[in-house]
Protein backbone atom coordinates (compact mmCIF):
# COMPACT_ATOMS: atom_id res chain seq x y z
CA UNK A 1 0.00 0.00 0.00
CA UNK A 2 1.50 3.34 -1.06
CA UNK A 3 1.35 6.63 0.84
CA UNK A 4 -1.31 7.90 -1.58
CA UNK A 5 -4.46 8.57 0.42
CA UNK A 6 -7.53 10.13 -1.19
CA UNK A 7 -11.08 10.68 -0.06
CA UNK A 8 -14.59 11.25 -1.34
CA UNK A 9 -16.47 13.47 1.09
CA UNK A 10 -20.12 14.07 0.14
CA UNK A 11 -22.61 16.02 2.23
CA UNK A 12 -25.70 13.92 3.00
CA UNK A 13 -28.24 16.53 1.96
CA UNK A 14 -29.52 14.66 -1.10
CA UNK A 15 -28.78 11.80 -3.47
CA UNK A 16 -25.44 10.92 -5.05
CA UNK A 17 -25.48 12.91 -8.29
CA UNK A 18 -23.41 12.19 -11.37
CA UNK A 19 -20.97 15.02 -10.68
CA UNK A 20 -20.22 13.63 -7.24
CA UNK A 21 -19.99 10.12 -8.64
CA UNK A 22 -17.39 11.25 -11.18
CA UNK A 23 -15.36 12.91 -8.42
CA UNK A 24 -15.57 9.70 -6.39
CA UNK A 25 -14.52 7.71 -9.46
CA UNK A 26 -11.44 9.85 -10.13
CA UNK A 27 -10.37 9.49 -6.48
CA UNK A 28 -10.99 5.74 -6.59
CA UNK A 29 -9.05 5.34 -9.83
CA UNK A 30 -6.05 7.30 -8.56
CA UNK A 31 -5.94 5.16 -5.42
CA UNK A 32 -6.24 1.92 -7.37
CA UNK A 33 -3.73 3.01 -10.02
CA UNK A 34 -1.08 3.94 -7.47
CA UNK A 35 -1.86 1.28 -4.87
CA UNK A 36 -3.18 3.87 -2.45
CA UNK A 37 -6.11 4.12 -0.03
CA UNK A 38 -9.61 5.38 -0.89
CA UNK A 39 -11.52 6.80 2.06
CA UNK A 40 -15.23 7.61 2.30
CA UNK A 41 -16.16 10.47 4.64
CA UNK A 42 -19.67 11.76 5.20
CA UNK A 43 -19.62 15.50 5.88
CA UNK A 44 -22.74 15.76 8.03
CA UNK A 45 -21.98 18.80 10.19
CA UNK A 46 -24.98 20.60 8.66
CA UNK A 47 -27.32 18.96 11.15
CA UNK A 48 -30.43 20.69 9.81
CA UNK A 49 -30.05 19.46 6.22
CA UNK A 50 -28.22 16.15 6.69
CA UNK A 51 -30.46 13.09 6.70
CA UNK A 52 -30.06 9.36 7.21
CA UNK A 53 -31.98 8.82 3.95
CA UNK A 54 -29.36 10.82 2.07
CA UNK A 55 -26.54 8.86 3.69
CA UNK A 56 -28.19 5.62 2.61
CA UNK A 57 -28.71 6.96 -0.93
CA UNK A 58 -25.03 7.90 -1.19
CA UNK A 59 -23.85 4.52 0.09
CA UNK A 60 -26.29 2.73 -2.22
CA UNK A 61 -25.05 4.69 -5.23
CA UNK A 62 -21.40 4.03 -4.40
CA UNK A 63 -22.02 0.32 -3.92
CA UNK A 64 -24.01 0.05 -7.15
CA UNK A 65 -21.16 1.69 -9.08
CA UNK A 66 -18.66 -0.66 -7.45
CA UNK A 67 -16.63 2.18 -5.92
CA UNK A 68 -15.56 0.22 -2.87
CA UNK A 69 -13.81 2.21 -0.15
CA UNK A 70 -10.85 1.03 1.95
CA UNK A 71 -11.62 3.05 5.08
CA UNK A 72 -14.86 4.49 6.41
CA UNK A 73 -17.46 5.64 6.07
CA UNK A 74 -16.39 8.19 8.65
CA UNK A 75 -18.87 10.80 9.87
CA UNK A 76 -17.86 14.35 10.71
CA UNK A 77 -20.56 14.49 13.37
CA UNK A 78 -18.49 11.97 15.35
CA UNK A 79 -15.54 14.38 15.48
CA UNK A 80 -17.00 17.48 17.16
CA UNK A 81 -14.74 16.98 20.19
CA UNK A 82 -11.68 16.90 17.92
CA UNK A 83 -12.74 20.11 16.17
CA UNK A 84 -13.34 21.91 19.48
CA UNK A 85 -9.92 20.81 20.69
CA UNK A 86 -8.24 22.40 17.68
CA UNK A 87 -10.32 25.57 17.95
CA UNK A 88 -9.13 25.95 21.53
CA UNK A 89 -5.50 25.35 20.50
CA UNK A 90 -5.80 28.13 17.94
CA UNK A 91 -7.35 30.48 20.48
CA UNK A 92 -4.54 29.67 22.90
CA UNK A 93 -1.74 30.32 20.39
CA UNK A 94 -3.34 33.41 18.88
CA UNK A 95 -4.07 32.05 15.39
CA UNK A 96 -7.78 32.48 16.15
CA UNK A 97 -9.83 35.00 18.11
CA UNK A 98 -13.35 35.57 19.40
CA UNK A 99 -15.52 37.93 17.38
CA UNK A 100 -18.44 39.57 19.18
CA UNK A 101 -19.80 41.54 16.21
CA UNK A 102 -23.56 41.06 15.89
CA UNK A 103 -25.30 40.06 12.68
CA UNK A 104 -26.62 43.62 12.40
CA UNK A 105 -23.14 45.11 12.76
CA UNK A 106 -21.72 42.74 10.17
CA UNK A 107 -24.56 43.56 7.79
CA UNK A 108 -23.83 47.26 8.18
CA UNK A 109 -20.11 46.75 7.52
CA UNK A 110 -20.95 44.71 4.43
CA UNK A 111 -23.33 47.34 3.06
CA UNK A 112 -20.80 50.13 3.66
CA UNK A 113 -18.02 48.21 1.92
CA UNK A 114 -20.20 47.63 -1.12
CA UNK A 115 -21.24 51.28 -1.22
CA UNK A 116 -17.58 52.29 -1.18
CA UNK A 117 -16.66 49.76 -3.84
CA UNK A 118 -14.69 47.56 -1.48
CA UNK A 119 -14.84 43.79 -1.22
CA UNK A 120 -17.39 42.96 1.52
CA UNK A 121 -14.93 41.12 3.79
CA UNK A 122 -14.74 41.25 7.56
CA UNK A 123 -12.81 44.36 8.63
CA UNK A 124 -11.05 42.81 11.62
CA UNK A 125 -12.86 44.84 14.30
CA UNK A 126 -12.31 42.15 16.95
CA UNK A 127 -8.83 41.10 15.84
CA UNK A 128 -6.99 42.92 18.61
CA UNK A 129 -9.86 43.16 21.05
CA UNK A 130 -8.71 42.55 24.63
CA UNK A 131 -12.01 42.67 26.48
CA UNK A 132 -14.15 39.53 26.67
CA UNK A 133 -17.76 40.65 27.06
CA UNK A 134 -20.45 38.25 28.20
CA UNK A 135 -22.02 38.12 24.74
CA UNK A 136 -22.44 35.61 21.92
CA UNK A 137 -19.39 35.21 19.75
CA UNK A 138 -17.98 33.28 16.82
CA UNK A 139 -14.37 32.17 16.53
CA UNK A 140 -12.45 33.55 13.57
CA UNK A 141 -9.16 32.46 12.04
CA UNK A 142 -6.52 35.17 12.18
CA UNK A 143 -5.59 35.02 8.50
CA UNK A 144 -2.04 36.07 7.53
CA UNK A 145 -1.86 39.50 5.93
CA UNK A 146 0.07 40.39 2.79
CA UNK A 147 1.59 38.33 0.04
CA UNK A 148 -0.33 35.61 -1.75
CA UNK A 149 -1.54 32.06 -1.29
CA UNK A 150 -0.59 29.86 -4.24
CA UNK A 151 -0.72 26.19 -5.10
CA UNK A 152 0.03 23.97 -8.09
CA UNK A 153 -3.23 22.34 -9.06
CA UNK A 154 -2.71 18.94 -10.71
CA UNK A 155 -5.35 19.78 -13.32
CA UNK A 156 -5.50 23.56 -13.62
CA UNK A 157 -1.85 24.45 -13.02
CA UNK A 158 -0.65 27.22 -10.73
CA UNK A 159 -3.39 29.21 -8.97
CA UNK A 160 -2.67 32.21 -6.76
CA UNK A 161 -4.85 34.41 -4.56
CA UNK A 162 -3.77 37.74 -3.01
CA UNK A 163 -3.92 37.27 0.77
CA UNK A 164 -5.74 40.59 1.11
CA UNK A 165 -8.78 39.05 -0.59
CA UNK A 166 -9.07 36.42 2.14
CA UNK A 167 -10.87 37.59 5.25
CA UNK A 168 -10.78 36.15 8.76
CA UNK A 169 -12.78 32.99 8.23
CA UNK A 170 -15.27 31.91 10.88
CA UNK A 171 -14.17 28.48 12.14
CA UNK A 172 -16.74 28.08 14.91
CA UNK A 173 -20.29 29.41 14.95
CA UNK A 174 -22.09 31.07 17.84
CA UNK A 175 -23.71 27.77 18.81
CA UNK A 176 -20.29 26.11 19.07
CA UNK A 177 -20.48 24.07 15.88
CA UNK A 178 -17.47 24.12 13.55
CA UNK A 179 -17.66 25.38 9.98
CA UNK A 180 -17.09 23.48 6.74
CA UNK A 181 -13.62 24.73 5.77
CA UNK A 182 -12.24 24.13 9.26
CA UNK A 183 -13.67 20.61 9.55
CA UNK A 184 -12.30 19.65 6.12
CA UNK A 185 -8.77 20.69 7.07
CA UNK A 186 -8.84 18.87 10.42
CA UNK A 187 -10.28 15.73 8.82
CA UNK A 188 -7.92 15.67 5.84
CA UNK A 189 -4.93 16.16 8.12
CA UNK A 190 -6.16 13.60 10.65
CA UNK A 191 -6.78 11.06 7.85
CA UNK A 192 -3.37 11.84 6.27
CA UNK A 193 -4.96 12.73 2.92
CA UNK A 194 -2.20 13.21 0.35
CA UNK A 195 -4.32 14.30 -2.63
CA UNK A 196 -7.57 16.26 -2.56
CA UNK A 197 -9.49 15.66 -5.80
CA UNK A 198 -12.77 17.57 -5.88
CA UNK A 199 -15.00 19.75 -8.03
CA UNK A 200 -13.69 23.13 -9.14
CA UNK A 201 -16.47 24.85 -7.26
CA UNK A 202 -14.10 24.40 -4.30
CA UNK A 203 -11.22 26.36 -5.84
CA UNK A 204 -12.06 29.46 -3.79
CA UNK A 205 -12.04 27.40 -0.58
CA UNK A 206 -8.53 26.11 -1.22
CA UNK A 207 -6.45 29.20 -0.26
CA UNK A 208 -8.36 29.53 3.01
CA UNK A 209 -7.78 25.87 3.74
CA UNK A 210 -4.09 26.14 2.88
CA UNK A 211 -3.75 28.96 5.40
CA UNK A 212 -5.44 26.79 8.02
CA UNK A 213 -3.14 23.84 7.29
CA UNK A 214 -0.15 26.09 7.76
CA UNK A 215 -1.49 27.72 10.92
CA UNK A 216 -2.18 24.31 12.44
CA UNK A 217 1.22 22.95 11.44
CA UNK A 218 -0.21 20.30 9.12
CA UNK A 219 1.34 19.24 5.78
CA UNK A 220 -0.56 20.68 2.83
CA UNK A 221 -1.93 18.01 0.43
CA UNK A 222 -1.82 18.26 -3.33
CA UNK A 223 -4.99 19.59 -4.92
CA UNK A 224 -6.75 18.69 -8.17
CA UNK A 225 -9.95 20.53 -9.08
CA UNK A 226 -12.15 18.76 -11.61
CA UNK A 227 -14.14 20.97 -14.03
CA UNK A 228 -17.90 20.84 -13.70
CA UNK A 229 -20.36 18.89 -15.83
CA UNK A 230 -22.69 20.93 -18.04
CA UNK A 231 -26.03 20.22 -19.64
CA UNK A 232 -26.63 20.48 -23.37
CA UNK A 233 -27.32 24.22 -22.99
CA UNK A 234 -23.86 24.66 -21.40
CA UNK A 235 -25.41 25.51 -18.02
CA UNK A 236 -24.40 23.53 -14.96
CA UNK A 237 -25.99 20.07 -15.01
CA UNK A 238 -29.19 20.07 -12.96
CA UNK A 239 -32.54 18.34 -12.69
CA UNK A 240 -33.95 20.39 -15.54
CA UNK A 241 -31.57 18.58 -17.89
CA UNK A 242 -33.01 15.23 -16.83
CA UNK A 243 -31.97 12.69 -14.23
CA UNK A 244 -28.86 13.59 -12.23
CA UNK A 245 -29.13 10.94 -9.50
CA UNK A 246 -26.95 7.86 -9.88
CA UNK A 247 -29.75 5.65 -8.54
CA UNK A 248 -32.16 7.16 -11.09
CA UNK A 249 -29.91 5.85 -13.85
CA UNK A 250 -29.99 2.43 -12.26
CA UNK A 251 -33.79 2.59 -12.12
CA UNK A 252 -33.94 3.71 -15.76
CA UNK A 253 -32.10 0.56 -16.76
CA UNK A 254 -28.47 1.56 -17.13
CA UNK A 255 -25.70 -0.86 -16.21
CA UNK A 256 -23.17 0.37 -13.64
CA UNK A 257 -20.24 -0.38 -15.95
CA UNK A 258 -21.84 1.78 -18.67
CA UNK A 259 -22.30 4.76 -16.34
CA UNK A 260 -18.78 4.34 -14.94
CA UNK A 261 -17.34 4.18 -18.47
CA UNK A 262 -19.32 7.27 -19.44
CA UNK A 263 -18.32 9.26 -16.35
CA UNK A 264 -14.62 8.48 -16.71
CA UNK A 265 -14.72 9.87 -20.25
CA UNK A 266 -16.34 13.10 -19.04
CA UNK A 267 -13.12 15.04 -18.74
CA UNK A 268 -10.50 12.29 -18.91
CA UNK A 269 -9.15 10.79 -22.10
CA UNK A 270 -6.74 8.13 -23.27
CA UNK A 271 -6.15 8.67 -26.95
CA UNK A 272 -9.27 8.06 -29.00
CA UNK A 273 -10.45 5.13 -26.87
CA UNK A 274 -14.09 5.21 -25.82
CA UNK A 275 -14.73 1.86 -24.15
CA UNK A 276 -12.76 0.83 -21.07
CA UNK A 277 -13.06 -2.13 -18.77
CA UNK A 278 -12.63 -1.35 -15.09
CA UNK A 279 -9.16 -2.92 -15.13
CA UNK A 280 -8.18 -0.79 -18.12
CA UNK A 281 -9.39 2.38 -16.38
CA UNK A 282 -7.32 1.56 -13.31
CA UNK A 283 -4.21 0.78 -15.36
CA UNK A 284 -4.44 3.83 -17.64
CA UNK A 285 -5.78 6.53 -15.32
CA UNK A 286 -3.63 9.61 -14.77
CA UNK A 287 -5.06 12.65 -13.02
CA UNK A 288 -2.82 14.78 -15.23
CA UNK A 289 -4.89 13.71 -18.25
CA UNK A 290 -8.06 15.25 -16.89
CA UNK A 291 -8.95 18.25 -19.03
CA UNK A 292 -9.26 21.82 -17.76
CA UNK A 293 -12.52 22.53 -19.56
CA UNK A 294 -16.04 21.66 -18.44
CA UNK A 295 -17.64 18.56 -19.98
CA UNK A 296 -21.09 18.37 -21.57
CA UNK A 297 -23.35 15.50 -20.53
CA UNK A 298 -24.59 13.72 -23.64
CA UNK A 299 -27.44 11.23 -23.00
CA UNK A 300 -27.10 9.78 -26.51
CA UNK A 301 -23.48 8.84 -25.83
CA UNK A 302 -24.51 7.20 -22.55
CA UNK A 303 -27.24 5.26 -24.38
CA UNK A 304 -24.69 4.08 -26.95
CA UNK A 305 -22.38 2.84 -24.22
CA UNK A 306 -25.21 1.18 -22.33
CA UNK A 307 -26.32 -0.62 -25.49
CA UNK A 308 -22.76 -1.86 -25.93
CA UNK A 309 -22.61 -3.25 -22.41
CA UNK A 310 -26.07 -4.82 -22.64
CA UNK A 311 -25.14 -6.46 -25.91
CA UNK A 312 -22.00 -7.96 -24.38
CA UNK A 313 -23.41 -8.79 -20.97
CA UNK A 314 -23.73 -12.36 -19.72
CA UNK A 315 -27.34 -13.44 -20.30
CA UNK A 316 -27.75 -14.85 -16.80
CA UNK A 317 -26.63 -11.63 -15.13
CA UNK A 318 -28.73 -9.58 -17.53
CA UNK A 319 -31.80 -11.68 -16.70
CA UNK A 320 -31.26 -10.98 -12.99
CA UNK A 321 -30.94 -7.26 -13.67
CA UNK A 322 -33.96 -7.24 -15.98
CA UNK A 323 -36.35 -9.05 -13.64
CA UNK A 324 -37.17 -6.05 -11.38
CA UNK A 325 -37.97 -3.94 -14.44
CA UNK A 326 -40.45 -6.54 -15.67
CA UNK A 327 -41.91 -7.13 -12.20
CA UNK A 328 -42.49 -3.39 -11.75
CA UNK A 329 -44.93 -3.64 -14.68
CA UNK A 330 -47.03 -6.19 -12.80
CA UNK A 331 -45.83 -9.08 -14.96
CA UNK A 332 -44.67 -12.44 -13.63
CA UNK A 333 -42.12 -14.49 -15.54
CA UNK A 334 -42.89 -17.71 -13.64
CA UNK A 335 -45.35 -19.15 -16.16
CA UNK A 336 -43.67 -18.01 -19.33
CA UNK A 337 -40.49 -18.72 -21.23
CA UNK A 338 -37.08 -18.82 -19.59
CA UNK A 339 -36.01 -15.23 -18.97
CA UNK A 340 -32.47 -15.90 -20.16
CA UNK A 341 -33.87 -17.10 -23.49
CA UNK A 342 -35.94 -13.91 -23.74
CA UNK A 343 -32.90 -11.80 -22.90
CA UNK A 344 -30.92 -13.37 -25.72
CA UNK A 345 -33.59 -12.32 -28.23
CA UNK A 346 -33.51 -8.69 -27.04
CA UNK A 347 -30.02 -7.75 -25.92
CA UNK A 348 -28.71 -7.07 -29.43
CA UNK A 349 -31.19 -4.22 -29.87
CA UNK A 350 -31.89 -2.68 -26.43
CA UNK A 351 -30.37 0.55 -25.14
CA UNK A 352 -31.67 0.24 -21.57
CA UNK A 353 -33.16 -2.43 -19.33
CA UNK A 354 -36.38 -0.42 -19.21
CA UNK A 355 -36.62 -0.60 -22.98
CA UNK A 356 -35.81 -4.29 -22.88
CA UNK A 357 -38.46 -4.93 -20.21
CA UNK A 358 -41.11 -3.20 -22.31
CA UNK A 359 -40.18 -5.32 -25.32
CA UNK A 360 -40.18 -8.49 -23.23
CA UNK A 361 -43.77 -8.20 -22.05
CA UNK A 362 -45.34 -9.99 -25.02
CA UNK A 363 -43.38 -13.11 -24.16
CA UNK A 364 -45.37 -13.38 -20.92
CA UNK A 365 -48.69 -11.88 -22.01
CA UNK A 366 -50.13 -13.11 -25.30
CA UNK A 367 -51.35 -10.25 -27.51
CA UNK A 368 -54.83 -8.98 -26.64
CA UNK A 369 -54.81 -6.74 -29.70
CA UNK A 370 -52.84 -6.40 -32.92
CA UNK A 371 -51.31 -3.62 -34.96
CA UNK A 372 -54.25 -3.35 -37.33
CA UNK A 373 -52.52 -0.79 -39.55
CA UNK A 374 -49.75 -3.31 -40.15
CA UNK A 375 -52.24 -6.14 -40.76
CA UNK A 376 -54.17 -3.95 -43.21
CA UNK A 377 -51.21 -4.13 -45.59
CA UNK A 378 -52.26 -7.73 -46.34
CA UNK A 379 -55.67 -8.92 -47.51
CA UNK A 380 -57.59 -11.20 -45.18
CA UNK A 381 -57.45 -14.19 -47.50
CA UNK A 382 -53.65 -14.00 -47.57
CA UNK A 383 -53.42 -13.65 -43.78
CA UNK A 384 -55.74 -16.63 -43.26
CA UNK A 385 -53.67 -18.71 -45.68
CA UNK A 386 -50.37 -17.74 -44.05
CA UNK A 387 -51.60 -18.42 -40.54
CA UNK A 388 -53.09 -21.76 -41.56
CA UNK A 389 -49.95 -23.01 -43.27
CA UNK A 390 -47.54 -21.71 -40.63
CA UNK A 391 -49.54 -23.16 -37.74
CA UNK A 392 -49.81 -26.56 -39.43
CA UNK A 393 -46.15 -26.77 -40.47
CA UNK A 394 -44.91 -25.46 -37.14
CA UNK A 395 -46.99 -27.95 -35.15
CA UNK A 396 -45.46 -30.80 -37.14
CA UNK A 397 -41.91 -29.45 -37.05
CA UNK A 398 -39.08 -31.04 -35.11
CA UNK A 399 -36.98 -27.88 -35.20
CA UNK A 400 -35.77 -26.63 -31.82
CA UNK A 401 -33.61 -23.61 -32.61
CA UNK A 402 -34.09 -20.20 -34.16
CA UNK A 403 -32.00 -21.29 -37.15
CA UNK A 404 -34.24 -24.34 -37.62
CA UNK A 405 -37.41 -22.26 -37.45
CA UNK A 406 -36.00 -19.69 -39.89
CA UNK A 407 -35.20 -22.53 -42.30
CA UNK A 408 -38.79 -23.74 -41.99
CA UNK A 409 -40.14 -20.33 -43.00
CA UNK A 410 -37.84 -20.28 -46.03
CA UNK A 411 -39.24 -23.66 -47.06
CA UNK A 412 -42.79 -22.37 -46.74
CA UNK A 413 -41.98 -19.33 -48.87
CA UNK A 414 -40.36 -21.46 -51.54
CA UNK A 415 -43.26 -23.91 -51.64
CA UNK A 416 -45.98 -21.25 -51.71
CA UNK A 417 -44.22 -18.68 -53.84
CA UNK A 418 -44.46 -16.10 -51.07
CA UNK A 419 -41.84 -13.51 -50.24
CA UNK A 420 -40.43 -13.65 -46.72
CA UNK A 421 -42.05 -10.34 -45.79
CA UNK A 422 -45.45 -11.77 -46.77
CA UNK A 423 -45.01 -14.53 -44.21
CA UNK A 424 -42.67 -13.07 -41.63
CA UNK A 425 -44.51 -9.84 -40.91
CA UNK A 426 -47.96 -11.39 -40.35
CA UNK A 427 -46.39 -14.08 -38.16
CA UNK A 428 -44.46 -11.53 -36.10
CA UNK A 429 -47.70 -9.60 -35.53
CA UNK A 430 -49.47 -12.80 -34.48
CA UNK A 431 -46.76 -13.71 -31.99
CA UNK A 432 -46.05 -10.26 -30.50
CA UNK A 433 -48.99 -8.03 -31.44
CA UNK A 434 -46.80 -5.64 -33.42
CA UNK A 435 -43.96 -5.33 -35.88
CA UNK A 436 -41.18 -4.21 -33.51
CA UNK A 437 -40.01 -7.56 -32.19
CA UNK A 438 -37.01 -9.89 -32.46
CA UNK A 439 -36.56 -12.34 -35.32
CA UNK A 440 -39.37 -14.86 -35.80
CA UNK A 441 -37.10 -17.84 -35.21
CA UNK A 442 -35.85 -16.29 -31.97
CA UNK A 443 -39.39 -15.63 -30.76
CA UNK A 444 -40.57 -19.16 -31.50
CA UNK A 445 -37.50 -20.67 -29.83
CA UNK A 446 -38.21 -18.66 -26.66
CA UNK A 447 -41.99 -19.19 -26.64
CA UNK A 448 -41.91 -22.82 -27.67
CA UNK A 449 -43.83 -24.42 -30.54
CA UNK A 450 -47.04 -25.05 -28.59
CA UNK A 451 -47.47 -21.44 -27.42
CA UNK A 452 -46.43 -20.08 -30.82
CA UNK A 453 -49.05 -22.21 -32.63
CA UNK A 454 -51.70 -21.14 -30.12
CA UNK A 455 -50.93 -17.46 -30.80
CA UNK A 456 -50.95 -17.92 -34.56
CA UNK A 457 -54.34 -19.64 -34.41
CA UNK A 458 -55.66 -16.80 -32.23
CA UNK A 459 -54.55 -14.29 -34.86
CA UNK A 460 -56.21 -16.33 -37.60
CA UNK A 461 -59.49 -16.22 -35.66
CA UNK A 462 -59.07 -12.46 -35.23
CA UNK A 463 -58.66 -11.75 -38.95
CA UNK A 464 -61.53 -14.10 -39.82
CA UNK A 465 -63.96 -12.33 -37.51
Cα 7 to Cα 27: distance, rounded to the nearest angstrom: 7
What residues contact 285, with CB distance under 8 A and at least 6 apart? Answer: 26, 29, 30, 32, 33, 264, 268
* Residue 433, phi-psi category: left (phi > 0), alpha (psi -120 to 50), beta (remainder): left
> Catalytic one among 121, 156, 239, 419?
239
119 is known as an active-site residue: no
Q: Roughly what angle, to the nearest 10 degrees, separates helices 18-34 and 52-65?
A: 50
Peptide bond between residue 73 and the one before it cis (omega within 30 degrees of 0): yes
* Residue 439, phi-psi category: left (phi > 0), alpha (psi -120 to 50), beta (remainder): beta
Give me the phi and psi of 457, to 5 degrees please.
-65, -35
Q: Where are the alpha helices (DSSP H) in 66-179?
A: 80-93, 103-115
Cα 229 to Cα 214: distance, rounded to the nearest angstrom: 32
Cα 356 to Cα 353: distance, rounded to the nearest angstrom: 5
Radius of gyration of the CA atoms of the chain, in A: 32
Q: Is the dihedral of CA 239, 245, 249, 252 positive or negative?
A: negative
Distance set, CA 160 to CA 75, 153, 164, 210, 253 (Å): 32, 10, 12, 11, 44
User: Across the chain, which distance is largest between two alpha carbons, in Å?
Assistant: 107
Catalytic residue list: 239
Amino acid sequence: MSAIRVRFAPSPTGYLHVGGARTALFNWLLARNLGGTFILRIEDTDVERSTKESVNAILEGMEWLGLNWDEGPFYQSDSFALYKEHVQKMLDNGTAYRCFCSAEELGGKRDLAMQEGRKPKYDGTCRERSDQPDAPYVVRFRAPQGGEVAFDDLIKGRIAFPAEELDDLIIQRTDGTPTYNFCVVIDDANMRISHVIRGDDHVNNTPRQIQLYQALGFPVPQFAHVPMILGSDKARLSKRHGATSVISYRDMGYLPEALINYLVRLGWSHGDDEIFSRDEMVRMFDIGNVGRSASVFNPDKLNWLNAHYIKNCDAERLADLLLPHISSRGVSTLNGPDLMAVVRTLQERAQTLEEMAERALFFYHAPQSYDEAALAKFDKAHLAAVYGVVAERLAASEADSSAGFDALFKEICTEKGWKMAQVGQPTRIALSGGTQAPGIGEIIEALGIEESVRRINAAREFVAA
